[in-house]
């Protein structure tokens, strides 16, 4: 049993008791809070593509609302004009839908800019906000440290009128970037650094993807997020643990503004082994060409996982398995792979594909059945998936010349080699037992062909030969085979936790995260993939694969989703 499998078992045995967020929600419902209503939101910043960590947050917020008959808003937290883009907005909507969720409302924090501005003036009028002319460095220096209190500066005592005038002039564009900020007047001596007069607004003369040039001051996260929750009457606002220390501020704004009391609840961030989860780093990988795109199948993005062959159900299953915790943790990517393997094992057709080595002209091994008629073609019925409740079959052409994997033949085999060797016998999957009679080589000594005889009465399903063989190998018929490109993906990083490593994360990239090989596949599989009747496949003995969007009519491309077994764990133990 692998580590991932054990984790899986433990979690499935954990029972059906409520998690701590569900407990809070049920207490609120029981207490009649918000009339028993449950309304959550998912608040991505449109500054990159969603990753598997976001999938966890999505499953949680949408799942909670579903469970308690509530609703979920999709809210774009677009308060930072310089990093945001509509390309990201579109990808986020697409990914949430693909995961299987639908939102009640699509909102944008930028739609609340007027309202937020009014809230800010309200706080100024109450003497709870002030304009500060200090530089960013000065503000940081005055902020103190966790063990030393911060220091108030001379701007803190500005009059309400002066603050109102200056804030209006900030909005009118009278000052350059960085000249002034608006701060909440909370407590410079608070043990919680977040409460030491946090910045509410900064000046930024920048074009916003939705509001254009209407604004040159933009609210900070802390002054946009909670207020947006309140405006939308969100009952339970779920966010990751790093916001726990922001909660007192979240509540301070709500209380001082006397607005809808949304409740913030924090849960642990998902971190996954052998990858990074920060959008900034993922963006760097794309922009510097370390991967081909945001949806490169090696990326932990939802788009990348989709292209890799992951299904929405497998990602939801994974999010369910990892559960939620109040402590950040690092989850073994093996668990994610376990979830997709489990599903694909049940759903995919077992098909035959012969892979070659990494060279562009990599050649499979040709096998000639000398006693099989030259122009004969049989259409063999081969079962699609032994896991199916009701067995289905497909037709696979069989002829005198076949391709097999080079690995499935050895001229001088070691003991217990149950595949093909001179004088040895194997079964060709779904077809006949064959015997290897002769090896043909070219001038350089490379094997170009092996010549075999087949046993006519050994046909699978009607075998009367009485011969028992230990090995079964897969094959494709040479005249019917379709040439394909196969992309074998592996972990993007070669260390378990790149984020915790002292070295620059780019130095930790796995140089062998992609191997491209030439392959020959059954014709039916290409047809099925192109028509969309089957998108994921098991290439027998090789792993699970999916047709890639880079395919051309001449040359299909397949991505390896995952190997059949967790080979990586074994490798790691050896080294």
Known catalytic membership, residue 343: no
Does the annotation place 277 within a ligand binding site? yes
| Set 22, 45, 162, 244: catalytic member | 45
Does the annotation place 57 within a ligand binding site? yes
277 binds ligand ATP (CB under 6 A): yes
When the beta carbons of 234 and 482 are compared against ligand ATP, the nearer one is 234
Tell the smallest beta-carbon distance from residue 76 to Mg ion (Å): 11
- 95: partner contacted, choices ligand ATP, Mg ion, none (Cβ within 5-8 A by kind): none
Burial 420-431 (b: 16+ CB within 10 A, else e): bbeebbbbbbbb
Tell the smallest beta-carbon distance from residue 229 to Mg ion (Å): 15
Considering only residues 38 to 67 of the shown chain, the ones binding Mg ion according to CB under 5 A are 45
Range in contact with ligand ATP (rule: CB under 6 A) among 270-278, 436-444, 451-459, 470-478: 270-278
Tell the smallest beta-carbon distance from residue 61 to ligand ATP (Å): 8
| Set 156, 256, 269, 435: catalytic member | 269
User: Cα angle at 107 between 24 and 311, to 5 degrees?
Assistant: 70
Does the annotation place 532 within a ligand binding site? no
- 44: partner contacted, choices Mg ion, ligand ATP, none (Cβ within 5-8 A by kind): ligand ATP
- SS3 label, residue 381: strand
List the structure tokens of 393.
Answer: 């079959």
When the beta carbons of 45 and 133 are compared against Mg ion, the nearer one is 45
Tell the smallest beta-carbon distance from residue 77 to ligand ATP (Å): 6
When the beta carbons of 60 and 365 are compared against ligand ATP, the nearer one is 60
Tell the smallest beta-carbon distance from residue 278 to ligand ATP (Å): 4
Q: Of 476, 353, 366, 472, which is closest to residue 418 (Cα–Cα)?
A: 472
Q: Which helix (H) or strand (E) holds 380?
A: strand 378-383
Q: Which residue among 278, 370, 381, 392 contacts ligand ATP (CB under 6 A)?
A: 278
Known catalytic membership, residue 45: yes
The residue number with the shortest CB distance to Mg ion is 45
Does the annotation place 46 within a ligand binding site? yes
Q: What is the largest CA-CA distance in the chain?
A: 102
Strand partners, 420: 409
Strand partners, 41: 73
- SS3 label, residue 434: strand
Phi, psi of 512 (to 5 degrees): -110, 35
* Tokens 């030439």, residue located: 518
| Set 158, 279, 308, 518: catalytic member | 279
The Cα 205–Cα 208 span in angstroms is 9
Tell the smallest beta-carbon distance from residue 232 to ligand ATP (Å): 14
Strand partners, 199: 183
- 135: partner contacted, choices ligand ATP, Mg ion, none (Cβ within 5-8 A by kind): none
Half-sphere exposure of 425 (CA within 13 A, CB side): 13
DSSP string, 449-512: EEEEEE-GGG-TTS--S----S-EE--EETTT-EEEEEEEE--SBSSS-GGG-SS-GGGGB-TT
The Cα 557–Cα 404 span in angstroms is 19
Contact criterion met (CB below 8 Å) for 475 and 489: no
Q: Of 461, 450, 462, which is closest to residue 419 (Cα–Cα)?
A: 450
Does the annotation place 542 within a ligand binding site? no
List the structure tokens of 498.
Answer: 């790149």
The region that residue 452 occupies, defined by phi over 0 for left and psi between -120 and 50 for alpha, beta otherwise, is beta
Site map 231..260 versus ligand ATP, x via CB under 6 A: --------xx--------------------
Range in contact with ligand ATP (rule: CB under 6 A) among 11-19, 185-193, 274-282, 363-371: 274-282
* Secondary structure of 323-348 in HEC code, one letter for each residue: CCCCCCEEECHHHHHHHHHHHHHHHC
Instruction: Please name the residues in contact with 269: beta carbons below 8 A apart, sequence gap of 6 or more.
Output: 53, 240, 241, 242, 277, 328
The residue number with the shortest CB distance to ligand ATP is 53
269 binds ligand ATP (CB under 6 A): yes
- 240: partner contacted, choices ligand ATP, Mg ion, none (Cβ within 5-8 A by kind): ligand ATP
279 binds ligand ATP (CB under 6 A): yes
The region that residue 233 occupies, defined by phi over 0 for left and psi between -120 and 50 for alpha, beta otherwise, is left
Site map 40..59 versus ligand ATP, x via CB under 6 A: ---xxx-------xx-xx--
Instruction: Please name the residues in contact with 475: beta carbons below 8 A apart, sequence gap of 6 or more.
Output: 352, 354, 367, 402, 403, 404, 428, 429, 431
Does the annotation place 45 within a ligand binding site? yes
Known catalytic membership, residue 279: yes
Contact criterion met (CB below 8 Å) for 266 and 241: yes
Tell the smallest beta-carbon distance from residue 181 to ligand ATP (Å): 21
Number of chain positions touching ligand ATP (CB under 6 A): 15
Tell the smallest beta-carbon distance from residue 47 to ligand ATP (Å): 7
Q: Interface residues with Mg ion (CB under 5 A)?
A: 45
Annotated binding site for ATP: 45-47, 51-57, 240, 269-270, 277-279
Annotated binding site for L-glutamine: 77, 221
Residues annotated catalytic, as ranges: 45, 269, 279
Annotated binding site: 45-47, 51-57, 77, 221, 240, 269-270, 277-279
Q: Interface residues with ligand ATP (CB under 6 A)?
A: 43-45, 53-54, 56-57, 77, 239-240, 269-270, 277-279
């Amino acid at each position: 049993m692998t580590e991932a499998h054990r984790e899986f078992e433990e979690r499935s045995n954990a029972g059906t008791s409520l998690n701590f967020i569900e407990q809070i929600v049920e207490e609120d419902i029981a207490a009649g809070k918000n009339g028993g209503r449950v309304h959550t939101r998912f608040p991505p910043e449109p500054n990159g593509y969603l990753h598997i960590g976001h999938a966890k947050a999505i499953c949680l917020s949408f799942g909670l609302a579903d469970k308690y008959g509530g609703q979920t808003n999709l809210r774009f937290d677009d308060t930072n004009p310089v990093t945001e883009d509509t390309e990201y907005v579109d990808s986020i909507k697409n990914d949430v839908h693909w995961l299987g969720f639908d939102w009640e409302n699509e909102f944008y924090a930028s739609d609340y800019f007027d309202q937020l501005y009014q809230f800010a003036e309200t706080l100024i009028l109450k003497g709870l906000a002030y304009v500060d002319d200090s530089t960013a460095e000065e503000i940081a220096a005055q902020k103190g440290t966790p063990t030393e209190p911060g220091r108030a500066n001379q701007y803190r005592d500005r009059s309400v009128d002066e603050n109102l005038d200056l804030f209006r002039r900030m909005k009118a564009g009278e000052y350059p970037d960085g000249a002034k900020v608006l701060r909440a007047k909370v407590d410079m001596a608070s043990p919680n650094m977040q409460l030491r007069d946090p910045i509410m607004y900064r000046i930024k003369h920048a074009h916003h993807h939705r509001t254009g040039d209407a604004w040159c001051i933009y609210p900070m996260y802390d002054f946009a997020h909670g207020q947006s929750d309140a405006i939308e009457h969100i009952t339970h606002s779920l966010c990751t643990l790093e916001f726990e220390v922001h909660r007192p501020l979240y509540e301070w704004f709500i209380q001082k503004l006397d607005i809808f009391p949304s409740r913030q609840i924090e849960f642990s961030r998902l971190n996954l082994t052998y990858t990074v989860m920060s959008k900034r780093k993922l963006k760097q990988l794309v922009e510097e060409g370390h991967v081909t795109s945001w949806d490169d199948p090696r990326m932990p993005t939802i788009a990348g996982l989709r292209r890799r062959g992951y299904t929405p159900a497998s990602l939801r299953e994974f999010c369910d398995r990892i559960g939620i915790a109040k402590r950040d943790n690092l989850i073994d990517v093996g668990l994610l792979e376990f979830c997709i393997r489990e599903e694909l094992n049940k759903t995919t057709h077992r098909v035959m594909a012969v892979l070659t080595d990494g060279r562009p002209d990599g050649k499979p091994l040709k096998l000639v059945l000398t006693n099989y008629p030259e122009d004969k073609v049989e259409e063999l019925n081969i079962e699609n998936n032994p896991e199916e409740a009701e067995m289905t079959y497909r037709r696979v052409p069989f002829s005198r010349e076949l391709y097999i994997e080079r690995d499935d033949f050895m001229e001088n085999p070691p003991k217990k080699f149950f595949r093909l060797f001179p004088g040895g016998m194997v079964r060709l999957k779904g077809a006949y037992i064959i015997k290897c009679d002769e090896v043909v080589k070219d001038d350089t000594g490379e094997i170009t062909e092996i010549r075999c005889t087949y046993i006519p009465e050994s046909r699978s399903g009607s075998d009367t030969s009485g011969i028992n063989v230990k090995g079964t190998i897969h094959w494709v018929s040479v005249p019917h085979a379709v040439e394909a490109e196969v992309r074998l993906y592996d972990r993007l990083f070669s260390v378990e936790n790149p984020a915790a490593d002292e070295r620059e994360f780019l130095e930790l990239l796995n140089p062998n995260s992609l191997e491209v090989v030439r392959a020959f596949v059954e014709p039916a599989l290409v047809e099925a993939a192109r028509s969309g009747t089957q998108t994921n496949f098991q290439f027998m003995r090789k792993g699970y694969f999916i047709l890639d969007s880079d395919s051309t009519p001449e040359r299909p491309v397949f991505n390896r989703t995952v190997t059949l077994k967790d080979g990586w764990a074994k490798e790691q133990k050896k080294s």
